[in-house]
Amino acid sequence: MTTVFHASRLFGAMTLAAAIDAGAFGPAGRRVLIVTNNADIPEIALGLDETPAFAALRDRFDEVYSWNEIIAPLHPSEWKARAIEVPMLGRLLLSHLGVTGLRELVVESVIVPPARSLPGLFKDCPITVYSDGLMAHSPTRDVLPGEISSRVTRLLHLGLVPGVAPLLLSEYGVPAETISAEYFPKIDAPSIYGEAIILGQYLSSLGILTEDEENQLHAGMLRAVIARGHREVIFQPHPAARHRQGRELRRLAADLGARLIFPAEGTPAEALFAAVRPKLVVSCFSTALTTAKLLYGLPAATMGTELLLERLSPYENSNRIPVTIADATLPRLEPDGSLTEPPGVDLPGLINAVAYCMQPAAHPGLRDAAQAYLESHGPIRYFKRRRLETLNLPTQPRSRLRSLIRGR
């Protein structure tokens, strides 16, 4: 029997390796990995299986296939089979992969292509969804057809927010299983040195920020870490970001008397954490900030989360929960290089309240928890007043309302 896995990012493949090593897929059978390169122009970007780091993961799989090559010249983030084509293409795909008996399909998402396309082609088998990041704590963005939701048997995740259960797919009764951090694979990084690491994002590609705003955000991080006294700074572009990301930063670093270093393409952030042991890791809301702190014990800080919380649109954008977690739990890097600790927070209460406001129809059971949180703490920066008014939720904490009443 064959288990078919899908991954589009190296971190996702590392998560799969951890799950396999932890015994999450039972006795060894044939394992086939389908990889996708979702870069804007995949022809000029390394696929995860082409990176040197993938060599440490390769032996978990019997065969590796490129989805880009299978559907070429179409882009994996845009193509999906038409309903009338699904039976034929499904048979062709199984034949191409040499699959005669399919035990399980393991995908990183059932919401967006390319992973969203695979369950329709691999019919009549159980589906495991694995989450390689903080997105596991976001509510499911779209309503799933019964043909898919009824086949999802579990959600595998790394437990990056201890004590907080993931919300993804929970409305379908899908149980969450934690992969122990001890199984997370160790990958060597090429020899490199840096006092601080800046993790780039790809917010302009997602339409959240303009390209200029994203450049300014990264420039602000660079200025702040240099103001903090770091003169050797590693900039790690996001795997899906455009190649030109970071060009302006190199010139800025030189003007400020520092040196900006770029790791070899395809080097995972986690390999850098292990090899470099930096004094600070900075980003906006990257999952790698959490892995730096939780799995490697490194200082991590955020910058720009307040802007993102304002810009994310619509409110139910799945990035809202990861941004909220980063903003609420990590120190904030100030322009002068200082670190400001975030106020204490009831993190489970905050996540549940934001999640309810994002998807109230999917999680009606969270309404009481959301109301209680807002009455105790108020909306602060994580909620939109119009959204609260629409849902008939408190826009002021009880203490504030009492003081307003007394002042009349």
d(CA 393, CA 173): 26
pLDDT in tens, 221-257: 999 999 999 999 999 987 666 556 677 899 999 999 9
**One-character DSSP codes across 340-390:** EPPPP--HHHHHHHHHHHH-TTT-GGGHHHHHHHHHHH--TTTS-HHHHHH
CATH of the domain at 336: 3.40.50
Query: 297 and 352, same structural domain?
Result: no
> Among 141, 162, 183, which residue terminates a domain?
183
User: Is 138 part of a structural domain of the chain?
Assistant: yes
Mean pLDDT of the chain: 91
Query: pLDDT for 308-317, tens place per residue?
Result: 999 999 999 9
Statement to judge: residues 316 and 212 lie in one domain: yes
Per the domain annotation, does 189 fall within a domain?
Answer: no
Are 261 and 140 contained in the same domain?
A: no
Question: In which band, very low, low, confident or very high, does the pLDDT at 27 lie, cut at 50, 70 and 90?
Answer: confident
- Are 23 and 113 found together in one domain? yes
Residues 247 and 266 in one domain: yes
Burial of 300 (0-12, 13-18, 19+ CB in 10 A): buried
At residue 283, the pLDDT reads 96
For residue 173, is pLDDT > 70?
Answer: yes
For residue 198, is pLDDT > 70?
yes
Q: How large a percentage of the chain has pLDDT more than 70?
A: 96
Domain contains 171: yes
Q: Is 403 a residue whose pLDDT tops 60?
A: no
pLDDT of 406 higher than 80: no
> In this structure, are 295 and 312 located in the same domain?
yes
Q: Does residue 407 register a pLDDT over 60? A: no
Confidence of residue 45 (pLDDT cuts 50, 70, 90): confident
User: Residue 222 belongs to what domain range?
Assistant: 196-340
pLDDT at position 111: 83
In whole angstroms, give the CA distance from residue 86 to residue 335.
53
Provide the pLDDT confidence category of residue 359 given band limits of 50, 70 and 90: very high
Q: Which one-letter amino acid corresponds to residue 315? A: Y
The domain total for the chain is: 3
DSSP structure string for 77-139? TT----GGGHHHHHHHHHHHHT-SSEEEEEES-SSSTTGGGHHHHS-SS-EEEE--SGGGGSP
Q: What pLDDT band is residue 33 in, cutting at 50, 70 and 90?
A: very high
Residue 122 lies in a domain: yes
Residues 6+ apart with CB under 8 A from 50: 266
Question: 204 and 269: one domain?
Answer: yes
Predicted TM-score of the model (pTM): 0.91
Q: By mean pLDDT, which of 130-134, 147-151, 281-285, 330-334 is the weakest? A: 130-134
Answer yes or no: do 352 and 327 share one domain: no
71 with 209, same domain: the answer is no
Higher pLDDT, 346 or 379: 346
Q: Would residue 146 count as lying in a domain?
A: yes
State how far the Cα of 374 lies from the Cα of 328, in Å rounded to an integer: 15
Across 22-47, average pLDDT: 89
174 located within any domain: yes
Say what the pLDDT of residue 404 is: 40
pLDDT of residue 116: 83
The domain boundary residue, chosen from 340, 363, 392: 340
Q: Which amino acid is at 384?
A: K
Is residue 254 located within the same domain as residue 202?
Answer: yes
Residues of the chain with pLDDT > 90, as a percent, come to 73
In a domain, 190, yes or no: no
Q: What is the structure's pLDDT at 161?
A: 93
Same domain, 26 and 172: yes
In a domain, 188, yes or no: no
How many angstroms separate the CA atoms of 152 and 142, rounded? 15
**Domain termination residue (choose one: 294, 314, 340):** 340
362 and 324 within one domain: no
pLDDT of 402: 47
